Amino acid sequence: KVIENLTNAGVKAIGIDINMSGPDQFSPQNDSTMLHAIKKSGRVVLAGKVDETTEQLIEEGSSFVTKIKEDYGNIFFTADSSIGIVQPPPDYDGVFRRYLPYIKSNATQKLVPSFGFALLNKYYGLENKTVAKRSDGFFLLGDKKIPRFDRYTVLINFYGAGGTFPRIKLIDVLDGKDFETIDELNTGVDLNTWDDPEIGLLQSGVFKDKIVIIGSTMPEDRDLLPISFAYGKQKGDNIIYGAEFHANIIQNILSNNFLYVQSKESELITIFLLTAFSFYASSFIRKIKFRIGFLLEAANFFLIVFILFGIYKASVFLFINHKLVTVIVSPALAAIVGYFSSTAYHFLKERRQNILIKGMFGQYVSKNVVNELLLNPDKLQLGGERKNVSILFSDIAGFTTFSENKEPEQLVSFINEYLNEMTEIIIANEGTLDKYLGDAIMAFWGAPIEVEEHAYKACLTAVQMQTRLNQLSEKWINASEPNIQVRIGINSGDVIVGNIGGVKRFDYTVMGDNVNLASRLEGANKEYATSTMISEATYEMIHNKVLVRELDLIRVKGKTKPTRVYELIGLTGDPAAEVRLKTLNEYYAGLESYKKRNFETALTHFKKSFELFSDYPSKVYLQRSQNYVANPPPESWDGVFEISPNPPLADLRRSKSGLLTEK
């Protein structure tokens, strides 16, 4: 009766979401009437299930065979073969979000439209067994393009929780003028909710051109499905009836109101960008120099939390405003992977940097310097940079003659002992050992990290080296070894410091004119028979902390400006050095007269100084004064002597003869 009434009301499709797998238990006539009504209407879709077919005996020739009866669990299938499968797939969490356009029956090996799509076949006038075609990214049903979620399903764009679609009681459609309900019989009042001229549903036009789904709302029928929408009032209020579930996907297709799924290409790009952003943002934070490292890691943690929150908010925004379903888990994992990748990268980078620093400086500077570089690697610029440093060169006087009388094994043992002792002093005073060249040592102060009073540290090292050498000499003399002397040159100034060399082989060293000057001062000691010579630049930096004797005004080849040089006698407060200075009164008196071109007076003072104290620099000036008394210099004479260039630094065991030549 309801089918007849709805058909007369002009509905386009009637879906009966009720399992009718067996005959009417009260009257076979009822089934016959139902079958007739379905055929007459031509607009009814029945609910069916796959693989719930029955078997029957069919006569073939002289025997009977068993064949599958195609009815999909509904006895009225034969009315017009319009069936829709009501077996939607749940997600892994048991919630229903997807819809199957069709299902394959293993029993019949046929594709059967799902319940909603079968109703749409009726609505659009398609054949009953029409199955949506799968194409690239869509399912095609007539001229409708329905976005695919995966290979077999579409996403349902739910319009709300249960009760969103209008519900009409079955009895109200049934109650016409020629049908009396129990209530009408009991009360004697004829209501006629269906065809009453004023309030009847038939006259209201509510069913005109609509799709009507008939389903049970009785809880005991268990036609209830959990979906992804809820009222939010209590747990479990995300349940809707099966009829409403089908109504949502049907309305989606009727209104072209679809949910679109983020493409795989877009997902991959998002994952890549988030991984890169997370990696570089985390790396940028780690580059910030902050004393409390924990705060940087806390900032990184909050960065990742912010990214994850941003992914969530963006996903919700796109879903609500653009009906785009985006992935959340893989981008979130990408951000986390980017963070941990940055952590691993910087850990390996720091480890490699630590190994590099230890390998590069562990043997050349003190452990304190190495630890400082490890804690603050930004203080180490591995490329060339300009720095103000103090450079020290030392060399054993007469080493060539000394080595000729030694067996190679003895010579190596001697050199190792000597270099070890000198190196310990350099490193203890925060110096950087540059290299050994035979018996020569090159060191500097002020790089790779800043050293306060680097000029003083260099001079302190020179004094301690000479003191330690005197102690070693006593031992060597007792062992019948000849006495040796070491000449030291120190200069301070700007140099280029960094990794010098090829791509695969390089050294951390210093270069520049100030380095060459320090090397030449070491060699110039031979002219004056001094042990340690420092430049004017070094002396001016620490003049109140050292005791020196002015030696000469010299000009290094390649430079126009002369350099005043000093003999380092000792440090301020050293009693022995102060006693030594008192013996230089005659020397300074002679030097004063010498500068004023009063060579005869200068000769007298230098002679007295040499005879009393055997002072060799006094002898040098004595000879010069004698020469100038006999051959006065020109009026342009400025007292400057030029130093001829030393041989290359690679051969510091060179002859020092002729370093000073008269201008």
pLDDT at 372: 57
Q: What is the pLDDT of residue 571?
A: 96
DSSP 363-383: TTS-HHHHHHHHH-GGG--SS
CB 393 within 8 A of CB 385: no
Residue 65: the pLDDT is 45
The position carrying tokens 């007292």 is 639
Q: Which residues of the chain have pLDDT under 50?
A: 56-58, 63-66, 647-663
Identify the three-state secondary structure at position 570: strand
Rounded Cα gap, residues 18 and 214, in angstroms: 8
Determine if the peptide bond prior to 448 is cis (ω within 30°): yes
Residue type, 158: F
- pLDDT tens for 249-278 read 999 999 999 999 998 899 999 999 999 999
Match 């679809």 to its residue by tokens.
Answer: 258
Contacts of 342 (CB under 8 A, 6+ apart): 278, 279, 280, 282, 283, 286, 300
Q: What is the pLDDT of residue 659?
A: 32
Q: Give 58's Cβ-side CA count (13 Å radius).
A: 8
- Cβ partners under 8 Å of residue 64, min gap 6: 57, 58
* pLDDT confidence of residue 54: 53
Question: Who contacts 45 (Cβ-Cβ below 8 Å, separation ≥6)?
Answer: 13, 14, 15, 16, 82, 83, 84, 115, 118, 119, 121, 122
What CA–CA distance (Å, rounded) separates 557 from 409?
39
Residue 577 CB-half CA count within 13 A:
16
Tokens of 254: 């009727």
Q: What is the DSSP string of 161-174?
A: STT-S----HHHHH
Residue with tokens 């910087």: 346
- Three-class DSSP category at 532: strand
Q: Residue with structure tokens 């680097």?
A: 454
pTM score above 0.85: no
Is residue 620 within 8 Å of 524, Cβ to Cβ?
Answer: no
Instruction: Judge contact between 496 and 386, C-beta under 8 A.
Output: yes
What integer pLDDT is reported at residue 649 of this predicted model?
38
Three-state SS string across 12-65, please?
Answer: CEEEEECCCCCCCCCCHHHHHHHHHHHHHHCCEEEEECCCCCEEEEEEECCEEE
- Give pLDDT, residue 220: 84
Which tokens hold the place of 190?
Answer: 């004829």
